[in-house]
Amino acid sequence: MRSELEQVRPRAACDSRDRPRAASRLAAWLVAAASAGIGLPAGAQDKPLGEARTPDGKIRVEVLSLKRIEGSLVTLRWQIVNDGSANFSMTPGNARLIDLAGRRQYEPGLYSTQCLSKPDERTPCWATFAAPPSATKTVAVQFYEQFELVIGIPVTD
């Protein structure tokens, strides 16, 4: 039986011999961009577009941006805020973008290697996905580690 949501994964737009080099360059650029907050106005990192919390409320994930980048891709940036007393680890590869109107689910292609947040820390994370169609203005974000769906995240250019 086929799932109601179609799975979409990013594809490399280059010859298979160039993929390792292209992926390496893209990964380096994404890490630098995510770390520097490229494309965000000053202070935008303080205002999340949406958030999800664990059932006990001690851990929350704040979605900071979802921005279209080169090559028909979007980069999702978020931070883990740990108000608990124990370390919290998240697998960024489990994040999903969900286009509710278009009935599609997008899986990440590249992402932070690990999102480990220690008590009383904010930890930045990122993931890159195939871009939804240009007509798609908002999506939902699903983080599978104990968090509810974050609805209404705008896709910006």
Q: Name the residue ranges covered by the structural domains of the chain.
A: 6-10+48-154
Sheet holding 104-106, edge to edge: 6-8, 104-106, 96-99, 138-142, 150-154
Record the tokens describing residue 24, joined without a space.
């390496």
Mean pLDDT of the chain: 81
Count of C-beta atoms within a 10 Å radius of residue 44:
13
Gap between the Cα atoms of 12 and 9, Å rounded: 10
Gap between the Cα atoms of 145 and 89, Å rounded: 9
Can you give the pLDDT at residue 36? 43
Between 3.40.50.1110, 1.20.1260.10, 2.60.40.1240, 3.40.640.10, what CATH number should domain 6-10+48-154 receive?
Answer: 2.60.40.1240
Q: What percent of the chain has pLDDT over 70?
A: 71
For residue 2, pLDDT beyond 80: no
CA distances from 10 to 7, 56, 66, 75, 142 (A): 10, 35, 16, 12, 18
Sheet holding 121-130, edge to edge: 50-53, 59-69, 73-82, 121-130, 108-111
Strand partners, 98: 105, 140
For residue 9, pLDDT beyond 70: no
Q: What is the dihedral of CA 60, 64, 67, 73, to 10 degrees?
A: -30
Per-residue pLDDT tens digits for 11-69: 444 445 555 555 555 555 555 454 444 444 434 456 999 999 999 999 999 999 999 99
Contact in structure between 127 and 75 (CB atoms under 8 Å): yes
